[in-house]
Chain A
Amino acid sequence: MVQTFRKKKVEIVVEASRARAIIDMIEAAGAKGYTTIPNVSGRGNRGTRDEAHLSDVFGNVMIIVVAAEKIASMILEQSQGLLENYAGIVMVSDVEVIRDEHF
């Protein structure tokens, strides 16, 4: 059996124009990396968000970070302020990873 390590996974769906600020915050919090999925669409309290055609105003990006608990809770805390006035969903879950040194 491969050895696994417990981490937190933070997933943030955010308005494309705010993605840069969120990513800068994630890096500043000390996460060693992140994954982004551009052009994600869906429906929420800001209506349907699926338009990435003219500008990114109605487009969303998903950002996934896996990190140690301390860093993850710092990210959660700081997302709060950064998402004021913006479309955004923040989720956190327990995950197990291999290759501990990557996180």
Chain B
Amino acid sequence: MDTLFQLAAGNLLSPMVLFFGLGVVAGFLRSDLAIPEAISKGLSLYLMLAIGFKGGGELASNGVSGAVAVALGLALALSFGLPLIAYALLRAATRLDTPNAAAVAAHYGSVSIVTFVAATGFLGYRSIPFEGYVVAMLALMETPAIVTGLLLARRAVAAGSTAPRSAPFFSREVAREVFLSGGVVLLGGSFAIGWITGDKGMVVMAPAIVDPFKAVLAVFLLDMGLLVGRRLHDFGAVGWPLVAFGIYMPLIGALIGLLAAHAIHLSLGGMTLVAVLAASASYIVVPAAMRLSLPQANPAIYVPLSLAVTFPFNLIVGIPLYYAVAQWITAL
């Protein structure tokens, strides 16, 4: 068993984290280094396709059992429940008003697909297997947190405030944004195709989605680093109590995720990934949904917080830490 220090150093010196660091530095210094938008979109589609297909293929070779249903139920519970904890902490420890606290809370119940993909890369380097259906948990955890966040905001509106209530709670536009966003469709669709085609499908797809995966991930993280580096200039609106929240909330989420995953008997790899899911915060789907449904909340708060604080924290410190704690729990 590696020590936490060895894990952290190994993670820090992996190409994916170093390329991410290069991007952060270049972005922060306002270098003109940029990955063209179409290519970066293409890379992210590739990663969704690969992760979905591999998860589906894994499920096909290991078969569906009751454990899958339990895991999916857990995913829903985490996504619905985590924003309640986040909201309580935000109201107690920061000066955010209700709509902003509700919006931030929704981000922390939802997930970052890139963090998840990076965690599978981390496990891949160490040849640690994980249950394929964890990918389905990822897909399920994106949305429920949005509902909880909107309910928290709405409850407060009902209690006073003059904000108009004419806007529908979960409009068709929001539903389309959330359920039919390109990433969600491709992830779910590839998972289904991987499941249907099984081992034979894997033979066809493996040359494209297995070997190049880690290298593509490293290039994509370079692009993520550039985005994060540019956002580091926006910290004015965020403030230290919130930055601290962006670090302790993932730790709380990860601990809940680890204990819950252990309770339903997931493997070491599965536990690590559920911890990462519970720890990560959305910065693509939830911001888009919040702009449509909760426009009073300020995107200059929630986007830098999840993108420039929590995402790098999970990538650099969180993933090896959650893995180490998962090792420790399974060894008990």
Interface, chain A (partner B; CB < 8 A): 15, 17-18, 20, 46-47, 51-58, 84-86
Contact of B299 among A52, A53, A58, A84 (CB under 8 A): A58
Chain B, residues 284-327, CB within 8 Å of chain A (1/0): the string is 11011001100110011001000100000000000000000000
Contact of A54 with B291 at beta-carbon distance under 8 Å, contacts A20-B173, A46-B300 already known = no
Nearest 4 A-B pairs (CB), nearest first? A85-B295, A17-B291, A55-B288, A57-B287
- Give 22 A-B contacts (CB < 8 Å), ordered by A residue: A15-B291, A17-B288, A17-B291, A18-B295, A20-B173, A47-B234, A47-B300, A51-B230, A53-B37, A54-B284, A54-B307, A55-B283, A55-B284, A55-B287, A56-B291, A57-B288, A57-B291, A57-B299, A57-B303, A58-B299, A58-B303, A86-B295
* B267 adjacent to chain A (CB < 8 Å): no
Residue from A15, A18, A54 in contact with B227 in the complex, judged by beta carbons closer than 8 Å = A54
Judge if B40 is at the interface, Cβ distance under 8 Å: yes
Evaluate contact between A52 and B300: CB separation under 8 angstroms. Answer: no
Contacts of A54 in B (CB 8 A): 227, 283-284, 307
| B230: chain A residues within 8 A (beta carbon) | 51
In the complex, A47 Cα to B233 Cα: how many Å? 11
Query: A15-B291, A17-B292 are contacts. A53–B300 as well, Cβ < 8 Å?
Result: no
Q: CB within 8 Å of A: which of B201-229?
A: 227
Residues of the B chain whose Cβ atoms lie less than 8 Å from the Cβ of A18: 291, 295
Q: Who on chain A is nearest to B291 by CB?
A: A17
Residues on the A chain within 8 Å of B37, using CB: 52-53
Cα–Cα distance between A86 and B173 once the two chains are bound (Å): 17
Interface centre among A47, A52, A55 (most CB of B within 10 A): A55
Task: For residue B161, give the distance in angstroms from its CB to the closest CB of chain A.
Answer: 13
Which of A57, A58, A86 has the most chain B CB atoms closer than 10 A to its own CB? A57
Residue of B nearest to A83 (CB): B295
Distance between B150 CB and nearest chain A CB, rounded to angstroms: 15
CA distance A17 to B181 in the complex (A): 14
CA distance A58 to B302 in the complex (A): 12
Chain A residues, CB < 8 A from B292? 17
Distance, CA A68 to CA B79, complexed state (A): 50
**Chain A residues positioned under 8 Å from B173 (CB to CB):** 20
List B221-245 residues whose CB lies under 8 Å from chain A.
Answer: 227, 230, 234
**B286 CB to nearest A CB, Å:** 9
A18 to B173 CA separation, bound complex (whole angstroms): 11
Give the distance to chain B from A92, nearest Cβ to Cβ, in Å.
24
- Kindly list chain B residues whose C-beta atoms are within 8 Å of the C-beta of A17: 288, 291-292
CB distance from B257 to the nearest CB of A (A): 24
CA distance A10 to B23 in the complex (A): 40
What is the minimal beta-carbon distance from A39 to any residue of chain B, in angstroms? 9
